[in-house]
A = this chain, B = another copy of it.
Amino acid sequence: MRAHDPIEHLIGLLAKLPGLGRRSARRAVLKMLMQPEQAMLPLAAALREAAAAVRPCRICGNLDDQDPCHICRDPQRDRSVICVVEGVAELWALERAHAHRGLYHVLGGTLSALGGMGPEDLSVQPLLSRIAEDKVEEVILALPATVDGATTAHWLGDRLRPSGVQVTRLAQGVPIGGALDVLDEGTLAAALKARRVV
């Protein structure tokens, strides 16, 4: 065996990415090696550029090549509503839904006894400062519908309410296009409990 095999080294690094196993990494490398100039060098340059340019927004915690991020800078956004998310992945998912016109706040996790996440690990004080300084009227807790997410939402609501802000959370119910017979009982019960007059 060679001391350093650039192909195996590259496959090993790619295989560490989520969603790519060793087999897919190998296929991807083979495909790129067919036209290295067109496929590999642009990807290498894009990685270097992103690593150099992207950083967390000092206001909301979003990842962007601008700081503050393009959402916090956008004069069209409603600055009186902040949507609290667990992480950047959830922020991006909400942005793709085009459903929230306010700002965001990345909490950095949820309270989790098993995961070793305590209140001091979450970005709560910066959120309280934003509420106090920016005339925030509503905080939407868009946390995961898990036990940890619900615990965090409950605890965070108690921390936020004294500042006079309205605290809301996402509705729970049947997903759009969701068939009832494959839905879990918890969701069905929640949807039934939150039923609305039509």
Q: Are A50 and B6 in contact (CB under 8 A)?
A: yes
Q: Are A6 and B37 in contact (CB under 8 A)?
A: no
**In the complex, which range does the number of interface residues on chain A fall in?**
35 or more
CA distance A92 to B9 in the complex (A): 15
Residue of B nearest to A42 (CB): B13
Copies of this subunit: 2
CA distance A19 to B52 in the complex (A): 27
CA distance A66 to B43 in the complex (A): 23
CA distance A120 to B44 in the complex (A): 35
Q: Are A27 and B19 in contact (CB under 8 A)?
A: yes
Which residues of A from 43 to 61 have beta carbons under 8 Å from B? 43-54
Q: Which residues from B are CB-within-8-Å of A30?
A: 63, 88-89, 92
CA distance A20 to B33 in the complex (A): 17
Q: Which 7 residue pairs across A and B have the least CB separation, nearest first?
A: A19-B24, A36-B51, A44-B47, A40-B51, A17-B28, A44-B44, A10-B46
